[in-house]
Copies of this chain bind each other. A is one copy, B any other.
């Protein structure tokens, strides 16, 4: 059996009781270690909590070495641990499809992920549109596909969750070119970088998918003991120090319920000016005002 087990967001103890029971009976335990990190735990603390060895699985192992991971999983129990939920922002459907091909049974033990825990900021999950990702811009690569998606969401009034880049075990271009297996220190995109990149793309595209004044919510270390939220304009957040990773950003849509707004007030510097931002931003993508029918309309 292959167990896919979600670890939740932060602590060793964020695993479910059922997940822990499964880990304890597994022969080998892999930890997916390239799309997210467990904020208040480490490989070592997990090993001591589980009472067994944890094997770090980098992208290479999962994507090209999955047969190695799945070895003997038809007769033994193997665990693949994923921060958040196994079907979270990054899914591991290819691993499951491979397991199926090999006739290996798969069981998934779900957990919280950023995709649902983000509701903790007070915005209603059913009012979110598609989720977008933002990567670190480089001199030559500044992909802006998120821009059209945010526009699509905001045109129909919806909030957008923006997931920020995580770079783990990446090589510099120089080291890659020279074939040196030297990895850069991990990098986690922060709120101010994300907000600045958003503003840069708006200044180039000029289609007003959003503006400097568009209200956003900065989410820092969701689910960790130091979790924090900050609501403000995109411009404000481009200068906001959100502290230690991980960070995510939400851009509000036009549909903001009173209860959502009231909840967000807890995270603003000034209620009145935030409310003003929200009202002002609601003018974008507003449905056209109702025009009463004229006599001409009835003449047909």
Show the binding face of A for B, using Cβ within 8 Å: 6, 8-9, 11-18, 20-21, 85, 87-89, 91, 93-94, 96-97, 100, 108, 110-113, 115-120, 122, 124-133, 152, 156, 158, 223, 259-260, 262-263, 266
For the complex, give the distance between the alpha carbons of A18 and B8 in Å.
11
Is B126's CB under 8 angstroms from A127's CB?
no
Is A93's CB under 8 angstroms from B122's CB?
yes
Is A117's CB under 8 angstroms from B125's CB?
no
For the complex, give the distance between the alpha carbons of A260 and B97 in Å.
11
- Smallest CB-CB A-B distances: 9 pairs: A87-B119, A110-B112, A13-B18, A126-B131, A116-B116, A13-B17, A110-B117, A115-B116, A152-B156
Is A110's CB under 8 angstroms from B115's CB?
no
For the complex, give the distance between the alpha carbons of A91 and B129 in Å.
17
Residues of B within 8 A of A127 (CB): 130
Q: How many copies does the complex hold?
A: 2
| A111-B16 CB under 8 A given contacts A116-B88, A262-B97, A266-B100 | yes
Residues of B within 8 A of A100 (CB): 266
Is A124's CB under 8 angstroms from B91's CB?
yes
Q: Say how far A119's CB is from chain B's closest CB, in angstroms.
A: 3
| A116-B119 CB under 8 A given contacts A91-B124, A130-B129 | no
Closest B residue by C-beta to A148? B156
Q: List 15 A-B contacts (CB under 8 A).
A: A14-B16, A14-B110, A15-B16, A16-B17, A16-B111, A17-B20, A85-B117, A89-B126, A97-B263, A113-B116, A125-B131, A126-B130, A126-B132, A129-B130, A129-B158
